[in-house]
Structure 1
Amino acid sequence: MGSLVQAELRKTTTTSLWWALLIPTVLIALGGGLLSGLFGQSFVEVFSSSEAEQLSDALGVTPDQWKFALLGIGRTINLATLFPLVFGALAIANEVGTRTITTTFLTAPSRVHAMSAKLLVYALWGAIYGLAIIGSTALGVVVTSKTGQMPDAGGWAMLALVCVLASILMTMFGVGVGALVSNSAGVVVLLIMYFLVVENVLQFGLRLSGTPETVIGFLPNGSVDGLTGTVAVDLFLAKAGVVPEEGVYWLRVIAGAGGAQAWWLSGLIFLAWVVAAFGGGWARMTSKDIT
């Protein structure tokens, strides 16, 4: 297995794909962090004005307790993890397209060994992308925010944990779907369209139809967004004082956690999607004829 893992690492590091996708990942995360910080700081300035003092007093908080930058952090992580998703999707789809998958399978002791090596290597890459995302997002927030708008050390640690976890799961989901579709362009278009368009339209339709909000949290995008968005909202509410229930709902929607379960349950739900996708791809690859 050690040799197979080394071979998979060489496949990823000797091509430009890893850094070609890492660059926009960092830029999106950094830009999202900058905007999140600006948004949070602007909110504090508006509600610190004399016209808004009565509202602040009625809610029993001071504006600097409303750390709106946290909601932007949740959204930024959700958007940036699309890049490790694409990176994972091309893991097998590219090899099938170039037919290097034949060499991979013929030189490995078994296809199970080959797929296991890919699982380990792309889980590592998912973690690397996750660290890059949270690091870039944090840098952006630090640049445009004051200390009062940022989470404490424990909050940053929790955000880093769920960010890395979401990135790993998105990468593995991409690997599984890529093994099922096995067409580089097709799988990228499919995943991007689903996560950015199809499920958002579906969620809107479910809300209009009066379907229970919790259904959204069981969809792929709804569950992985809930993993990070719920943590962001929980950190916000921990310092926000009294927030009406309707306000909590909209905070969750803004953070991308509308209808989501608790963060750990959202993670387990998306893990089930990952297992289904990766398991299906595994079954297809281990039974596929090679030429």
Structure 2
Amino acid sequence: MGNLLKAEFRKTLTLNTWWVLIIPLVVVSFGLTFVWGRITDNFASYIGRGTARKLAESVGLNADAFPVGLLAIAHGVNIAQIIPALFGVFALAGEYRSKTITTTFLTAPNRLTALSAKMLTYIVWGVIYGLISFGVSALATVLSVDSTRLPSGPQWLGALGGTVLASVLVMLFGIGFGAVLRNVTLAVVLLLVWFLIVENVLVISMWGVTSALGGILPNGTANGIVGGIAADAFKINTLNLPDGVDHWSQLGLQLAAGAPGVFSWWASALIFLAWTMAFFVAGWAGNQRRDIT
């Protein structure tokens, strides 16, 4: 296993993909966090003596210290986590495209061992990408949000842990998704279209019927890990809404946290883990049976 792990790290480090993808990761994490931090901070300042104060008091928070920094981080890292998912797609589907998968399977004791080494390698990459994403998002938050509205110490740690966990899971999801399709172009296009467009349209268009879609579909549950931490802090997750919040107000509040329909961060993590394992197992099963040349 040690030699297989070394081989997997060499594969990723000898290609440009790992550092090329870090560029959009940094740009998206910093840019969206900064913009959303500035918007929410200005909004809270503008109506801090009116509606915002009443909303804060209804959920037990001090409007003068409204932690909008968590909202900024959640938005930045949630959109940016599509980058590690794309990196994961290249892990196996990329090997089929470059035809190096034959060497990978033939030099390993068996395919399960080869895929296990790949999984462990990309867990490490997921941690690295998560740390980078959180780091630049934290910097953008400090630069865009008033100091009284920054997260507390435990909230910073929670956001850090949630970002790293989400990054690892979406990268493994990408591996499984790419393993099922075995076509880089198709996997990348479908992943982008589903995560950024289709699922969001479904969740919002079906909100009048049910808010559960955002809490059970892949993109929603991936977003719900860090977004759920923000929603939990504001007490606006689906399991803990303040009294008097109607169905559509719930959507607005949870959109502010970047996770419409979120149950809680831990529920989102467990549900997305189930999605990840489903694709990973399906990809593993398909690759066990597939002939290589």
* TM-score of the alignment, normalized to the shorter chain, above 0.5: yes
TM-score by length of structure 2 reads 0.90
TM-score by length of structure 1 reads 0.91
Decide which structure has greater helix share: 1
CA offsets, 1:213-233, max 9 Å, x none?
Answer: 123311111111111111012
Distance 2:55 2:100 in 1: 65
- RMSD after superposition: 2.0
CA offsets, 1:165-207, max 9 Å, x none?
Answer: 1111100000001011111111100100010111112112322
Structure 2: gaps spanning 5 or more residues: 237-241
Between 78-87 and 196-205, the greater mean CA deviation after superposition = 196-205
**Number of equivalent positions:** 283
Contact in 2 for aligned 1:151/1:235 (Cα 8 Å): no
Distance 1:85 1:57 in 2: 39
CA offsets, 1:211-267, max 9 Å, x none?
Answer: x212331111111111111101222349xxx88534555221222222122211111
Choose which of 53, 56, 59 in structure 2 pairs with 1:56: 53
Corresponding letter in the other structure for 1:184: V
Between 139-148 and 113-122, the greater mean CA deviation after superposition = 139-148
Contact in 2 for aligned 1:36/1:69 (Cα 8 Å): no
How much identity, in percent, do the aligned residues show? Answer: 40
Q: Deviation of residue 68 (structure 1)?
A: 2.4
Distance 1:9 1:272 in 2: 26
When residues 184 and 232 of structure 1 are mapped into structure 2, their CA distance, relative to the original with a 3 A threshold, is: same
Distance 2:148 2:71 in 1: 15
Between 275-284 and 213-222, the greater mean CA deviation after superposition = 213-222
Q: Show the 5 A alignment for 1:135-284.
A: 135-208=135-208, 210=209, 212-237=210-235, 244-246=244-246, 249-284=251-286
Between 80-89 and 67-76, the greater mean CA deviation after superposition = 67-76
Structure 1: gaps spanning 5 or more residues: none
When residues 244 and 112 of structure 1 are mapped into structure 2, their CA distance, relative to the original with a 3 A threshold, is: same
Distance 1:56 1:107 in 2: 63
SS at match of 2:212: helix
CA offsets, 1:60-98, max 9 Å, x none?
Answer: 475423222322221211100000000001111110011
When residues 59 and 243 of structure 1 are mapped into structure 2, their CA distance, relative to the original with a 3 A threshold, is: farther
Distance 2:131 2:54 in 1: 39
**Could you say which residue in structure 2 is the equivalent of 1:74?**
74
Corresponding letter in the other structure for 1:221: N
When residues 215 and 136 of structure 1 are mapped into structure 2, their CA distance, relative to the original with a 3 A threshold, is: same
Contact in 2 for aligned 1:59/1:243 (Cα 8 Å): no
Contact in 1 for aligned 2:26/2:136 (Cα 8 Å): yes
**Could you say which residue in structure 1 is the equivalent of 2:31?**
31
Q: Which is bigger in relative contact order (C-alpha 8 A, separation at least 6)?
A: 1
Q: Deviation of residue 157 (structure 1)?
A: 0.3
Contact in 2 for aligned 1:43/1:68 (Cα 8 Å): no
Contact in 1 for aligned 2:93/2:179 (Cα 8 Å): yes
CA offsets, 1:84-113, max 9 Å, x none?
Answer: 000001111110011100000111111111
SS at match of 1:290: coil
Q: Show the 5 A alignment for 1:36-47.
A: 36-47=36-47
